[in-house]
């Protein structure tokens, strides 16, 4: 089902990871091709966030392999993975609460040792997507509203000029209007800049409409994959994630 032609930008093979004795990933295979938006959907506790964090080595993979652009990054230290220009807007947003918005964005630029001009054009891009952040530059991250924090988390990730952007529940807790703004921004980034995106969502409907391809995760395993529209048609997806069904 996946585009098997060129080497994928990110290739995950039989990945296992655990927190202590609790196995969260039980052999995950997943591919992301350059220029794609890939959605990862599944219930709470399915292991979606763990997968994103394991790509960064937190926690470390117990076994399996993670390749980025042909390079094995399974054992690379977390801070060096950021330098490969993989960026993440993680679960819970993790804004630095006692840093200004400007400093939070600077942290993103620092991640890839951006030059001054990269930084300036990065800021321009972030402000174009989220004009609200421009007004808030001197404000402390912790004082922003939930939606603004989400914008900041995505903006911070973009400041590192990522080749792969990973977004964990970007619409969580947001008013529908703001959630739509954020989805629009992701689509724009993908179409205009060819940015590759992995998006984790509980809002499966939104995510699958946005994505080129999707994966469904249940209990640490990928159970289904296909194009976004294919998955949207599947009765089991509709029952479990779309029609107000069992969303634990």
Q: How far is the CB of 246 from another protein (least distance, A)?
A: 29
One residue of 108, 122, 147, 162 binding another protein per CB under 8 A:
108
**Helices assigned H by DSSP within 111-203:** 116-129, 131-135, 146-158, 176-193
Contact pattern from residue 41 through residue 60 relative to another protein, giving x for each residue in contact according to CB under 8 A and a dash for the rest: ---------------x-x--
Q: At what angle do helices 176-193 and 146-158 cross, to 10 degrees?
A: 10
Alpha helices in the chain (DSSP H): 48-55, 78-83, 101-110, 116-129, 131-135, 146-158, 176-193, 204-210, 228-233, 235-237
**Residue 24 binds to another protein (criterion: CB under 8 A):** no
CA 86 to chain centroid, in Å, comes to: 10
| Of the residues 49, 50, 106, 196, which one makes contact with another protein according to CB under 8 A | 106
Smallest distance from the beta carbon of 107 to another protein, in angstroms? 5
Residue 103: exposure state from Cβ atoms within 10 A (0-12, 13-18, ≥19): middle
Nearer CB in complex with another protein: 131/142: 142
- Residue 105's H or E segment, with its range, is helix 101-110
Stretch that binds another protein, among 18-26, 31-39, 94-102, 120-128 (CB under 8 A): 94-102
The token duo for 155 is 């903006």
Beta carbon nearer to another protein, 88 or 225: 88
Least distance from C-beta 240 to another protein, angstroms?
Answer: 30
Binding flag, residue 188, another protein (CB under 8 A): no
| 83 contacts another protein (rule: CB under 8 A) | yes
Q: Report residue 126 as tokens.
A: 């972030």
Q: Is residue 5 exposed (0-12), middle (13-18) or buried (19+ Cβ within 10 Å)?
A: exposed
Residues 158-187 that bind another protein (CB under 8 A): 160
Q: How far is the CB of 216 from another protein (least distance, A)?
A: 25
| Chain mean position to CA 62 | 22
Please state, in angstroms and rounded to a whole number, the distance separating the CA atoms of residues 60 and 55.
8
> Interface mask (CB under 8 A) for another protein, residues 123-152, using x and -?
-------------------x----------
Can you tell me which of 111, 167, 182, 211 binds another protein, judged by CB under 8 A?
111
Number of residues that bind another protein (CB under 8 A): 27
User: Which pair of structure tokens corresponds to residue 200?
Assistant: 């984790």
Site residues for another protein per CB under 8 A: 56, 58, 77-80, 82-83, 88, 90, 92, 94-99, 103, 106-108, 110-112, 142, 156, 160
């Amino acid at each position: 089902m996946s585009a098997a032609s060129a080497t994928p930008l990110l290739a995950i093979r039989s990945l296992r990871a655990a927190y202590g004795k609790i196995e969260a990933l039980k052999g995950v295979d997943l591919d992301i091709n350059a220029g794609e938006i890939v959605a990862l959907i599944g219930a709470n506790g399915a292991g979606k966030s763990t997968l994103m964090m394991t790509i960064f080595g937190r926690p470390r993979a117990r076994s399996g392999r993670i390749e980025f652009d042909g390079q094995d990054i399974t054992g690379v230290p977390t801070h060096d993975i950021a330098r490969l220009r993989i960026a993440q807007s993680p679960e819970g947003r993790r804004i630095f609460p006692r840093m200004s918005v400007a400093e939070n964005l600077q942290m993103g630029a620092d991640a890839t040792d951006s030059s001054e001009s990269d930084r300036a054009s990065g800021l321009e891009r972030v402000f174009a997507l989220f004009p609200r952040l421009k007004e808030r530059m001197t404000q402390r991250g912790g004082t922003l509203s939930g939606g603004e924090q989400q914008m900041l988390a995505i903006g911070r990730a973009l400041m590192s000029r990522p080749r792969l952007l990973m977004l964990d529940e970007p619409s969580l807790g947001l008013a529908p209007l703001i959630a739509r703004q954020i989805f629009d921004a992701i689509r724009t980034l993908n179409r205009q800049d060819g940015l590759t995106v992995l998006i984790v969502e509980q809002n499966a409907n939104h995510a699958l409409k946005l994505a080129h391809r999707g994966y469904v995760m249940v209990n640490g395993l990928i159970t289904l994959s296909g194009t976004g529209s294919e998955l949207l048609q599947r009765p089991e997806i509709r029952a479990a994630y779309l029609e107000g069904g069992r969303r634990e």
